[in-house]
Amino acid sequence: MFENLTDKLQAVFRRLGKRGVLREADVNEVLREIRLALLEADVHYKVVKDFIARVRERAIGAEVAKSFSPAQQVIKIVHEELIHTLGEPGRLELKGPVPYVIMLVGLQGSGKTTMTAKLARYLKQSGHLPLMVAGDTYRPAAITQLEVLGRQLELPVHSEGQRVSPPHICANGVREARRRGYDVVVLDTAGRLQIDDGMMAELEAVKQAVKPVETLLIADAMTGQEAVNVAAGFHQRVELTGLILSKVDGDARGGAAISMRAITGVPIKFLGTGEKTDALEVFHPDRLASRILGMGDVLTLIERAEAAFDQEQAEQLERKLREASFDLEDFLEQLQQVRKMGSLSQILNMVPGMGRLVQDVSPETTDRQFKRVEAMVLSMTPEERRAPRILNASRKKRIARGSGTTVQELNLLLKQFQQMQRMMKQLGKGKSGLRGVMRLFG
């Protein structure tokens, strides 16, 4: 989402790093470029003005003058002020009598129904017993969509069709949760194409009926600065307790994420990072600031890896690597585990320094190459994966034909895999396994 902003800021910092001493004129020039980059990224002009003023005050003062590396100090200041603008990390406040009610609101198309399932899945994994309530009676497919997602996730859904009013459905859902022992209720409510009095009055009635502990706005990152106005409108009528920014994996310019917290005073609690129900991240302002500045996000990468990799499989892999018996069967298993962590381009951008290496390659190209490698290994027989040395010319032609690739591509894969095997034998332990996988796409 922040690709253009990241590129512009990194270009500014690269030029800054070439100067040994920073004069006030240099700082002003840098801040002017940062201001333009933020405005082009759809950051609200008031937020940009305050941000630049804070950075200027610190950058021109003694803080930088006494620094051995003024350029690095300015980058540090920008990073810290970006974290300040994004605000303190918001967390779900589940307090009071059970069941805790979480009410999701937002415009039509912002992704509320999918987010209801994502949040319920997150709560289930956190040890709660959630019940989803289908309170959107206006969009014909909303109830069916939530019921399908509920079956996929093995989570209960309370629905009463389209003829019952949303306040009654939501109140009945809370009573049902209390009766059946569910401790959290997640309400999917109706949206509109734009804010109107009818929608707001209905949301106010729902809130009055169920007394939610959290009222979360699902804000579509693709709407740019308009998302800030939407957040302010909802906050004025239904008193938001938090924001969930959806579609941050898209090609939006990212300004909404930076602006919304500063304008509304409401904390961002989650980021929706994809369409699948596991694509939900807890919001960490420091990590997002690092991503925006192209500094990577190692902590989120580690958390994704821990969630994707099975502990027993990891131990088996380490043993095989120690014994130098790692084969293409194991490699395929690792490829599929890495795929669970998200797109390869997303993963690489979380590694410090890797973002710049892949900035000229589109995410689609990177992920397509990933899939081609996987297709080649899948086109082999189990015997060929375990002993690639038996791959003669006819077998290679068959594999290339079956995977939609060429023999030359297959030979390159086999050569790189052999190099990785030799490297792992030398290292003796498997802690560089992921690094070895990444080498195949470098």
Amino acid at 356: R
CA torsion angle for 316, 320, 322, 323 (degrees, to 10)? 140
Give the integer Cα–Cα distance in Å for 89 and 438: 32
- The CATH label, of 3.50.50.60, 1.20.120.140, 3.40.50.720, 3.40.190.10, for the domain at 3-86 is 1.20.120.140
C-alpha 98/C-alpha 330 separation (Å) is 46
**How far apart (Å, rounded) are the C-alpha atoms in residues 1 and 8?**
13
Tens digits of pLDDT across the chain (442 residues): 456 677 777 777 777 666 666 677 878 888 888 888 888 888 888 889 999 999 888 887 656 656 556 667 777 888 888 888 888 878 899 999 999 999 999 988 888 999 999 999 999 999 999 999 999 999 879 999 999 999 999 999 999 988 899 999 999 999 999 999 999 999 999 987 777 888 899 999 999 999 999 999 998 877 767 778 888 889 989 999 999 988 776 555 567 777 888 888 899 999 888 888 988 989 888 877 777 776 554 455 555 555 655 666 666 666 665 565 667 887 777 777 766 666 655 565 555 544 544 454 455 566 677 788 889 999 999 999 988 889 999 999 999 999 999 999 999 888 888 876 776 666 554 444 444 444 444 4
DSSP 216: E
Enter the DSSP assignment of 360.
T
In whole angstroms, give the CA distance from residue 199 to residue 84.
34
Query: What is the DSSP-derived secondary structure letter of residue 19?
Result: -
**E-strand stretches of 58-210:** 100-105, 130-135, 157-158, 184-189
Copy the structure tokens of residue 392: 């003669």
Structure tokens at 316: 């088996």
CA distance 369 to 120: 34
State the Cα–Cα distance between residues 110 and 265, nearest whole angstrom: 21
| Residue 415 to residues 68, 132, 179, 407, 410, Cα–Cα distance (Å) | 46, 51, 62, 12, 9
Query: Which of 1.10.260.30, 3.90.930.60, 1.10.520.20, 1.10.730.10 is the CATH number of 301-439?
Result: 1.10.260.30
Q: Report d(CA 136, CA 143) in Å as an integer.
A: 7
- The class that CATH gives domain 100-285 is alpha beta
| CB of 105 closer than 8 Å to CB of 243 | no
Domain boundaries, the chain: 3-86, 100-285, 301-439
Facing residues of 184 across strands?
100, 130
Whole-model pTM over 0.75: no
- Angle, alpha carbons 225-364-252 (nearest 5°): 0
Q: Between vectors from CA 17 to CA 12 and to CA 18, what angle results, nearest 5°?
A: 105
